[in-house]
Structure 1
Amino acid sequence: MDRRTILVTGGSGFVGSALCRQLNALGVFSVRAPSRREGELNATTDWATALAGADAVIHAAARVHVMQDNANDSQAEFRRVNVDGTLNLARQAAAAGVRRFIFISSIKVNGELSQPGHPLGADDTPLPQDAYGVSKHEAEQGLLQLAAATGMQVVVIRPVLVYGPGVKANFLSMLRWVQRGVPLPLGALRNRRSLVFVGNLVDLVLACLDHPQAANQVFLASDGQDITLSQLLTAIGQALGRPARLLPVPPVLLHAAARMLGRADLAQRLLGSLQVDITKNRKLLGWTPPYTLEQGLDVTARAFLDTRHR
């Protein structure tokens, strides 16, 4: 039986590598994952070899959101990679006869926060707040216009914070804090966040490879279980076998301290709510997350402990 060829960009990254592992494990796909040098993402990259005979593209490569951006013109650099690079790849994919193009976008296209009791939806009016979110939104718009002009089907998936084995950045910091028994002044927080286990995100991407109702649609990706930050840290402690040390400091004091330190952005990420509604996934695709939040955290914690014991 001939295997369908899938091109995965960003195959060495956190999400891309998980996608490649699962696609290879299924045994029915031929997976192409160009190296970073081969698949540099800009407006002039030649993708002809990588796209030859490809049935679908899963575009996970991007210039990601960074806390301290040293680029002289941050917006221009994000556009160069995330907009120009993405649309260059997509135009070549359409010309090569690629059937479906799946774009891993970001919840930042929807915005930074949700209002209590009003989770963000896939079809809400976009409200990106930073250069990264704006670039992802512009790429989405260009892709959907290209789909209308060429007939290549586009699927946009906006994940919330992704966690799982090998996770980096803030989630890794939380694992380390809890493992070390660091006292954290976060025990009184009641803001709610949506997260997505990388296994759930991969499963959603695979569902979107072929489902006819996915064509030219936008979906949000989450575990379908919202949680407060204090609950999350407690759950991480349970998964690690080490209770989280949480101090019940009032959020108003945390906001004040963050402002005094010039870190209002950090306060927003820690203290604000960001909930999403994935009802559309269930209605259009019949998709529900195969892993619970607890299962995802357990797998993530075990992988974290394994790396520490090597």
Structure 2
Amino acid sequence: MTVLVFGGSSQIGHYLLPLLAARDEPVVTLSREAHASTQGVTWLSGQLPDAVPKVEDISAIFSLGPLNWFASWLSTAALPHAPRVIVVSSMSAETKQASEVSAERDLSQLIRSSEATVAEACAKHGSAWTVLRPTLIYGVGMDKSLTPIARRAMRLKVFPLPAAGGMRQPVHAQDLAHAALAALDKPAAAGRVLAVGGGERLTVGEMFVRVRRSLPVDTLPLPLPAWLLHLARRSVAGLRGPLSRLEADLVADNTEMMRLLGVQPRPFRPDAECWRS
């Protein structure tokens, strides 16, 4: 039997592929770019949703990339049997549902409708599914939230520190990989949408302070007062969504995830390796 992974080149895949390979079951992962196969992991060239090569004898499927593309493929895929399906979604399904920015509301709706499509497709295939909804992900410099800020600060030698009290709960990609693997082996997690946050809640301001401390170069702190953030929110359309959430609590309740999967995410203690290029 074979485990099929979509999004193996993601930061979650960076940690999940070795864990799967260690289980002595062949792992096949799809990528638009060429990758050299490694012990236990075969990379195939392809692209969701309509350029996926045929893989025989699938025992489980992991989706770590764009959920809408995966949902589209799964809804039309001809699967000969019923694999276990583990999907990594996003807490944006909840946190952006009532955003003042229409594009963010649309994204929230797309995520939720894609989750529903996955559930419907799994029902058709007779597959057991689990959806993981992580908070802000970090780990190996592939995220689009903290890493761009950290790299820009290292380049400019200036680090912005917003005056914001909203709570955050960053989750490490390795902890998500362990949660995804645990979901594969826990029948009780089937048919569940599980929130996954980091092991610590902290304010936006403190989160930025810790990122700055973790950088391998010295940077000049640049405090951004609340009035300036408010002005930017009203004046710059592209910043309206992110700045409007600075005072909002974007956190997850890990109770069910920990009970069902037995995974304890780590607190937010980033180091320079998290922002590597």
Other-structure match for 2:81: 97
Which structure has the highest helix share of the two? 1
Contact 2:75 2:117 in 1 (8 A): yes
Aligned residues of 1:113 and 1:273 also touching (Cα < 8 A): no
Is residue 88 from structure 1 mapped to residue 95 from structure 2 by the alignment?
A: no
Report the CA distance between 1:221 and its aligned residue. Answer: 1.7
Structure-to-structure mapping, 1:142-291, within 5 angstroms: 142-179=117-154, 180-186=156-162, 188-240=163-215, 245-262=220-237, 263-289=239-265, 291=266
Aligned position for 1:21: 18
* Amino acid in the other structure paired with 1:12: S
Q: C-alpha root-mean-square deviation of aligned residues, in Å? A: 2.7
Query: Aligned pair in 2 of structure 1 residues 57, 169: CA closer, same or farther (>3 Å)?
Result: same
In the TM superposition, what is the alpha-carbon distance from 1:191 to its structure 2 partner?
A: 1.1
2:47 is matched with which residue?
40
Q: Check whether the contact 2:63–2:86 (CA below 8 A) recurs between aligned residues.
A: yes
Structure 1 CA distance, aligned partners of 2:105 and 2:93?
A: 9
8 Å contact from structure 1 (residues 185, 247) kept in 2: yes
- Which amino acid in 2 is paired with 1:17? H
Q: Hey, what does 1:70 align to over in structure 2? A: none
Aligned to 1:66: none
Change (3 A) 1:102 1:277: same
Any conservation in 1 of the 2:97–2:109 contact (CA below 8 Å)? Answer: no
Matched residues in 1 for 2:246 and 2:234: separation? 13
Q: 1:184 to 1:111 in 2, by over 3 A?
A: closer
In 1, Cα distance between the equivalents of 2:117 and 2:76?
Answer: 10
Instruction: Provide the TM-score with structure 2 as the length reference.
Output: 0.81
Partner of 1:125: none
* Percentage of pairs with the same residue: 25
Partner of 2:40: none
Q: Provide structure 1 residue ranges, at least 5 long, that are not aligned to the other structure.
A: 64-78, 115-127
Amino acid at match of 1:288: Q
Matched, 1:59 2:63: yes
Q: Which residue of 2 aligns with 1:67?
A: none
Higher normalized strand content (fraction of residues): 2
